[in-house]
Amino acid sequence: MPSLCLRSSATLAFAVAIVPSVAAQGPLDAESYVQAVLRSHPAARQSAALDAAAAAERKAGRVFPDPVAGFNWDRARPIDGLGGSETGWSLSQTIPWPATFSAKVRAHAQQAAVFGAESVSTRWELEIEARATFARLLHARAAVEIAREAEADALALKGLTAKRAELGESREVDRIKTEVEWLREQRTLRSLEREAVAVEAILRNLAVEPLPRPLALTGVLPDPFPPVDADDLRARLVRANPAFKAAQAAAAREAALVSAARRGRVPDLDVTWFRSKELDKTANGFQLGVRVPLWNANRGLIAGAEATAALAAAGAQRAMVDLSNALERARQELDVASAQADILTNQILPAAGRSLDLARFSYQEGETSLLDLLDAQRTFRETQREAATSHLALALALGDVRRLVGPDFNPRR
C-alpha cells in the first residue's frame, strides 16, 4: 500500500521564520521596534512638549511681577511769572507677601507635576501599543505558517487519495472530499496572508520611519507564567501610575491655590520710587501702597478655591478606586490568559498531535476511514491556531497590566 507522507508537528513553535532581507541589517526585534516608535512617532514629540511645559510651569511659579515705569511731562505757567516744562518719572514694584508667593510656587510646581505625569502616560501608551502591534504581527505570521502546513497536508492527502482512486482502493467521493479540503485550506491560507500584510502595514505606519522591505522579524510571543502577586501590582500602581499621580498633583495644586487665596487677605506691598521736577522745586521720594481688605477680603475667591479643591481631592480618590478595579480585572484576565495558553500548549496540543499520528497510521493500514483522518487533521490544526491565539491574548493581557503599572513590569521577576 502506498505510504502517506504528510507534514505535521506535535508542538507549535511561535518564533517567526526569518525572511531574507535585501537590507544589510538583521531581523527586527521587539526592543528595536519600540525604540524606533519612541524615536519617530508624533506622540513622542507630544511627550517632549509636555516635559517642556512642565519645566516652563516650574519657572513661571518663581517669577516676580514686572515693575511699572512711568513718565510724565507737562507745561506749567505760574500766575506771576513765565511758564516752563515740568517732568517726572516713577518706578513701582509689587512685592508679594511671602506666604502667598510660596503657595503660588507650590501650585505651579503641582501643575508641572500634572504635565509630567501626562508626558509619562503618553510614553507608556506609545510603548505598549508598539509592543502589542509587534505581537500581532508575530501571531499573524505564525498563523500563516500553520496554514501553509495545513495546506501542504491537504495537498499530500489529495494526491494520495487520487492515486488510490485510480487503483480502485478508494472511492471517488473520497477523492472529491480531499480536493474540497485542499481548496478550503488554500482559502484559509490566502485570507491569513492578506491579514498578515494588513498587520504589517499597521506596524510600519506606527513606526513612522521606514522599515526594511521585506521585513524580517525575530522574537516569540510570551510563554505562560505563574499567577502574579496582586499586592505587588497594587503597590506599583500607587507608586508609578501616571493617571493617579496626575490626579494627586491636581488635588495638591488646588489645595495650594486655596492656601494662596487665604493668604491673599494679607495685601501685597507696592513700593514706588519717584522724581519730579517742577518750576519751583525738585522732589525725590518713595511711597508705599497696600490694598486694604475691608469689603471683599478674598471671600469669593477663597470659597471658589475651596470648592474646586474638594472636587479635585474627590477626583483623586475616585481615580484610585477606578484604577484599582481596572488593575484587578486586568490581573485576572492575565492569569486566565496564562492558564489558557499553558493548557493549550502543554496539554491539548500534544494530545491533538498524538491523535493525528494515530489516525494517520490507522488510515495507512486501512483500519480507519478518510473522515476520521480529516477530523483528526482539522482538530490538530485548529488546536495549533487556538494555541497561537492564546499566546497573543497573553501578550495583549500583559500589555493591559503594563498600561496600569508600567512598561517595565515583568511577571517573571
CA angle 269, 270, 273 (to 5 degrees): 135
Q: Supply the pLDDT for residue 1.
A: 38
Give domain limits for the chain: 30-405
**Grid cell at residue 118:** 501626562
- CA distance linking residue 357 with residue 284, whole number of Å: 108
Residues (pLDDT < 50) of the chain are: 1-24
Any idea which residue has 525572511 for its cell?
19
Q: Given this model, what pLDDT does residue 293 score?
A: 67
Tell me which CATH homologous superfamily contains domain 30-405.
Outer membrane efflux proteins (OEP) (1.20.1600.10)
Q: What is the pLDDT of residue 33?
A: 96
pLDDT at 207: 94
Q: What is the pLDDT of residue 275?
A: 82
Which H/E stretch holds residue 68? Answer: strand 68-76
Q: Rounded to an integer, what distance in angstroms lies between the CA atom of residue 246 and that of residue 115?
A: 8
> Residue 410 has which C-alpha cell?
515583568
Residue 193: the pLDDT is 96
Let me know: does 337 contact 394? Beta carbons within 8 Å.
Answer: yes
Rg, the chain, Cα only: 37
Specify the length of the chain in residues.
Answer: 413
